[in-house]
Amino acid sequence: MGLFELQVCQNGYWRRLETFEDRSAAMSASIKAEHSQRYSGVKIIRETYDERDRVFKTKLIHKWSEDVEQKAKDREVDRNLERQRLERKKHRRQAPAKKESWQTKIWNYLVFTATAVMALGGTAALTVVMRGV
């Protein structure tokens, strides 16, 4: 059997507010303390005495703090931003391709023509060399 301590943080210091023998009563009291907005943190610690080792053992059962709440809000904001980023990426993939500009079309034509001339010119030069042999 153990005791449940309700501890609160106020002005940066933790102190024991109440002790309970029942876990559900301790949880109810912690919820009330959280909603009272008088404390920047609330936690429940279960404390048991180990007869064999003759020591008290403690275990954190529940913890709430404004920092934890703020971090949860920050994580939610991050998730929303990531969701928006993925949506934009999806829309970009689905968007129709832009039409090529006339400069791009001319450039592609010139590259093709130059490649064809080089290929044909190289073939003609090779033919001349082969006939001369």
The reported pLDDT for the residue numbered 133 is: 44
Tokens of 55: 């020591």
- Render pLDDT for 11-38 as a digit per residue (tens, 0 to 9): 888 899 999 999 999 999 998 988 888 8
Q: Where are the domains of the chain?
A: 2-65
Residues facing residue 63 across a β-bridge: 43
3 state DSSP class of 99: coil
Helix (H) or strand (E) holding 104: helix 102-132
**How many CB atoms within 10 Å of residue 88?**
10
- Render pLDDT for 40-89 as a digit per residue (tens, 0 to 9): 889 999 988 888 888 888 888 888 877 766 766 777 777 888 888 888 88
